[in-house]
Chains A and B, each alone.
Chain A
């Protein structure tokens, strides 16, 4: 234990003098939280519509007004020419085309039924289906209004209908920032921890100082823990720093226990730092560490469920995600922050992270060679 204390003293003495690293430790959370959380949005805004109104009736104009009144849509352009609309769609100047056929109002009056056509640019499938849903809402809202209007208002015998009342739990205002912030923060502590620890160990190889350590009676586990703990502490500090920013800027709640959150943070970091250190035991230069660590980061992050829900991934990918520490940590962060989940709710994650953490740590200790 005393040996580890001396390694920690040494590491902190070196970190304290490394101005670039210090700056990174402070700047990274600020930049990431303030830029990425705002930029990585799921919200649909400013959808550009191209309107082809071939009916030019009161009813068709009423429908268009409804779109215009919506905060999500802009009437970008309008004409009678569908071709022109298609061109705009191809050039991505408009996101979708609303075609109102010439007999729109007449059909509605005579047959109680009329069609409109929606042509949506679906390169981004997610966005297209969102546009479709928003559009349906607007049309059905307008539909109701038309029915009421024609039946004559006020009507003491309103048409019977079933209405769904929605009530969003855990994030009542559907603030995407509340959803993104815990995820971005998870990635942040991962980057800080994994890169710094891995680069630090391999730097000793580059400088040659590791030889001097390898001729001492230092134990392998002491060395690895001595290299892991300083960066675990730094990453946890950054987690706290990021949470404060999230609280102040986005008003992100932490419904659950902070102790639990940091406890899980520490457990999670043992795993990713273990992996970072393992990578540095099999590499010789900081460049190689960067390259391999980046590779793992990409996979972990993209499969971690920060941008795309894991539930919608193919089955095999979901199975693969059981090995992905970031997947668990993002879940934990969201659940503890937004839902106030307790240890019992997160027991499965706890077991998984413990297994992953111990495996990576053991791997790093096993692979570290004092004798080449």
Chain B
């Protein structure tokens, strides 16, 4: 596992020399996104781009507006104003086309507890229009990778949380989406499972998928190519973790986050 991590950091140092904004192709583009709930401004003029193949971390305290922004990008919620494209499609007009090209895993657990692993896979594969043949291949591959072959016909409810999360992530990737949105995917699981989960994320990114992930864990922020830190509905900082640490003169992301979040007025 550590070896894989080293590989990844090797890759990172290589990409550090690249200039993301000129060389990379933006797959998510957000300009002046505003989302209001009545008088409450959840997202206050957010502007950012996410590039193909990168792991983009979306950080912030509870109530900072990260989940709101992510739900808008997935087409679960509509923006109040702003220009947004995801995968080249317009969020306002082409929401259904976006949905074909994204995977989504939410903090609220998304598989059906009263169905077996195989039934869940069959259902989601069916909804995304995979053929029987494709589904079989994916299913076998996925269960093998997760080591869940013997549990194929077990109910989701009987699985430990960590397994459920990994399974949910794999199911979100069934239809080969270009972009994957993960909303606090590792909430409540043990460090080992979290580490394994991030291995999966790296693997998906290595295949060219773009990962957009929100998290509470600052150590996870270090695994991202770039992070944005939201405070009170605005983006307070956006850069590579190394640059942010330098800029805020901090040893780790936790320090960066604390300096930024100290000024926050909103809490849960």
Binding site for B on A (CB under 8 A): 2-3, 5-7, 9-10, 13-14, 17-18, 207-209, 211-218, 370-372
Contact = CB atoms under 8 A, between A and B. Distances in A.
A9 B126 CA distance: 10
A212 B114 contact: no
A371 B78 CA distance: 6
Contacts of A9: 119, 122-123, 126
Nearest to B97: A217
B88 interface: no
Contact of A3 (B113, B126, B181): B126
A216 to B, nearest CB: 5
Contact of A215 (B104, B119, B129): B104
Interface footprint category on B = 20 to 34
Contacts of A3: 126-127, 129
A215 B127 contact: no
Contact of B106 (A13, A212, A372): A212
B217 interface: no
B123 A212 contact: no
Interface string B108-133: 11111111000100111011110000
Contacts of B126: 2-3, 5-6, 9
A215 B104 CA distance: 7
B74 interface: yes
B140 interface: no
B74 A215 contact: yes
B223 to A, nearest CB: 24
B52 interface: no
Given A3-B127, A7-B127, A208-B110, 12 more contacts: A9-B126, A14-B114, A207-B113, A208-B106, A208-B108, A209-B110, A209-B111, A211-B110, A215-B104, A217-B100, A371-B75, A371-B95
Given A211-B106, A214-B76, A370-B75, A18 B99 contact: no
Contacts of B110: 208-209, 211-212
Contacts of B99: 215-217
